Amino acid sequence: MSKRKTKGNDFIQKAFYKGGVEAMTKFILDNLVYPPEAAANKVEGTVHVQYHINHKGKVFKAKALTKHGHGLEEEAIRLCKMLVFVVPQRTRNLRIIYNKTTHIHFRLPKPKPQIEPPIEAVPQEPQAVQYTIVPQKKGKTETPEKINKSYNYTINLPNK
């Protein structure tokens, strides 16, 4: 019996994005333009995009697998077509087409809290304050209508 050489997992190496998933996510976030129609209608969602990568590492065909409308699919396809992958050297002179699926999340930006300028104190004109002092007799409580004597004081407060 002769020993057969088995083909390992690296017989056909897959195309990959330089820098890994983190770099690809950063690229997508940096280049994502939220569609104005989707923002106006407050549409959010995750678009699943399936695309093909040629032997040079360029995406040549992409289609959205989910439908949200309002321009989300078109933006996701545009982003995927901008991606450039690293393709390992040709295996046995074959030109391999790679298939990948990416999920692009569209979330509305959170509104920033608007800081209102501090309200400046507006100087007000002094107002006259009137007090009525009614003398009372000990032990008896009388209403002001029944008392003949009363005093009025007016105090003007100055501006500060």
- pLDDT-based confidence at residue 126 (cuts at 50, 70, 90): low
- For position 89, which CATH number holds? 3.30.2420
Closest by CA position to 47, among listed 23, 77, 17? 77
Structural domain harbouring 24: 20-106
Residue 152 in any domain: the answer is no
Residue 136 inside a domain? The answer is no
Residue 92 forms part of a structural domain = yes
CB atoms within 10 A of CB 104: 22
> Which residues are paired to 128 by β-bridges?
156
Confidence band, pLDDT 50/70/90 cuts, at residue 78: very high
15 found inside a domain:
no
Express each pLDDT in 9-28 by its tens digit: 566 788 899 999 999 999 99
Cα–Cα distance, 82 to 104 (Å, whole number): 14
The reply to whether 73 falls in a domain is yes
Distance between CA 77 and CA 68 in Å, rounded? 13
- Which tokens is 55 given? 């032997």
Q: Let me know: does 65 contact 48? Beta carbons within 8 Å.
A: yes
The answer as to whether 123 is a domain residue is: no
